[in-house]
């Protein structure tokens, strides 16, 4: 039987995305944004730049298939082995975006804008935005590229899980989850009471609930990040104080409402769970480094080797 040819790809894709939105209950605009992000990353994986950009952030969790994650508006990447020269990076983004695929998506490279970002961190990055179209639908994607992170663990490579069955996706480099945790924890400690980044607490807890970790690897990542960013890990204990927890409780509730998460956990419980997850890692000695994290019992335990 001959393969059916879709004459209007844009209309077909729009209809399938609308159906996906109805089936999942997810906002249609959010579905569209995720789709556009997926299609840009697919083009990245097909390009000559695929070894120079490593996916971080919320989309990383989607690719790892870790249940439902908070929505994210940007594609967050690490520049690895590539110059941070704005003109060079602009050229790379344009070449990636111009790759043609039969997915109905068109990235308008004439609309690229560039700005320097330095949000609650001491390491600068670059932010690119560009207009993307699917037929008459017009949107915009944001790509944040950072540099200078200390990553002692290897990157992995994995194909994107396609939102729509049958669409081609490609492999891209993925940031180690251990380093995701270490950087978020460092940001919490570094910013202290000034932080408004409730997403860091949410993300650490989310990862601890949905992924297994080897203590040694997580410890390596934490030590590397705190050393690279010149942050004293011994200053972390303010996080556990009752006055700090009370101060952030309202901010935490506002954050949960903003991202539309139905689950409600008090901030005091979040801190307690993060403490039980990370304190054994920070304080571990050599003989404890092979412990693995078991989220079901919320504890580090010995690796069981079958006899």
Could you tell me how far CA 207 lies from the centroid of its own chain? Answer: 11
Q: Are residues 64 and 88 in the same domain?
A: yes
Q: Are residues 135 and 192 in the same domain?
A: no
Q: Answer with the one of 140, 175, 210 that is the final residue of a domain.
A: 175
User: What is the number of structural domains in the chain?
Assistant: 2
Q: Answer with the one of 149, 175, 201 that is the final residue of a domain.
A: 175
Q: Are residues 171 and 185 in the same domain?
A: no
* pLDDT for 304: 61
Determine phi and psi for 98, rounding to 5 degrees.
-85, -5
Average pLDDT over residues 200-215: 93
Could you give the CA distance from residue 206 to residue 61 in angstroms, rounded to a whole number?
A: 10
Q: Angle CA(30)–CA(267)–CA(238) in degrees, nearest 5? A: 120
Residue 150's pLDDT band (cuts 50, 70, 90): confident
Q: Which of 173, 117, 177 is nearest to 147 (CA)?
A: 117
Q: Are residues 157 and 256 in the same domain?
A: no
* pLDDT for 214: 95
Q: Are residues 130 and 203 in the same domain?
A: no
Could you give the CA distance from residue 262 to residue 250 in angstroms, rounded to a whole number?
A: 16
Highest mean pLDDT among 69-73, 158-162, 217-221: 217-221
Structural domain that includes position 115: 9-175
């Amino acid at each position: 039987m001959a393969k059916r040819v879709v004459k209007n790809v844009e209309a077909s894709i729009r209809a399938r995305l609308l159906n996906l939105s109805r089936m999942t209950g997810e906002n249609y605009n959010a579905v569209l944004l995720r789709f556009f992000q997926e299609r840009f990353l697919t083009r990245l994986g097909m390009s000559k730049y695929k070894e120079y950009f490593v996916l971080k952030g919320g989309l990383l969790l989607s690719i790892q298939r870790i249940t439902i994650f908070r929505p994210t508006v940007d594609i967050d990447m690490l520049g690895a082995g590539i110059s941070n020269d704005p003109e060079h990076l602009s050229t790379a983004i344009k070449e990636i975006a111009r790759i043609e695929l039969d997915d109905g998506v068109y990235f308008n490279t004439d609309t690229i804008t560039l700005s320097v970002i330095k949000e609650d961190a001491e390491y600068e990055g670059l932010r690119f935005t560009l207009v993307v179209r699917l037929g008459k639908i017009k949107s915009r994607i944001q790509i944040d590229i950072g540099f200078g992170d200390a990553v002692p663990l290897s990157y992995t490579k994995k194909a994107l899980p396609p939102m729509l069955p049958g669409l081609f996706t490609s492999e891209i480099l993925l940031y180690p989850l251990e380093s995701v945790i270490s950087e978020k924890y460092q940001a919490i400690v570094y910013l202290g009471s000034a932080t408004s980044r409730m997403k860091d607490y949410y993300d650490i807890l989310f990862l601890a609930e949905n992924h297994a970790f080897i203590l040694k690897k997580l410890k390596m990542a934490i030590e590397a990040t705190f050393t690279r960013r010149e942050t004293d890990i011994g200053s972390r204990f303010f996080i556990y104080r009752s006055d700090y927890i009370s101060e952030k409780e309202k901010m935490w509730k506002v954050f949960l409402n903003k991202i539309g998460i139905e689950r409600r956990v008090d901030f005091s419980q979040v801190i307690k769970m993060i403490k039980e997850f990370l304190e054994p890692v920070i304080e571990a000695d050599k003989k404890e480094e092979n412990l693995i994290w078991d989220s079901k019992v919320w504890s580090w335990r010995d690796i069981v080797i079958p006899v």
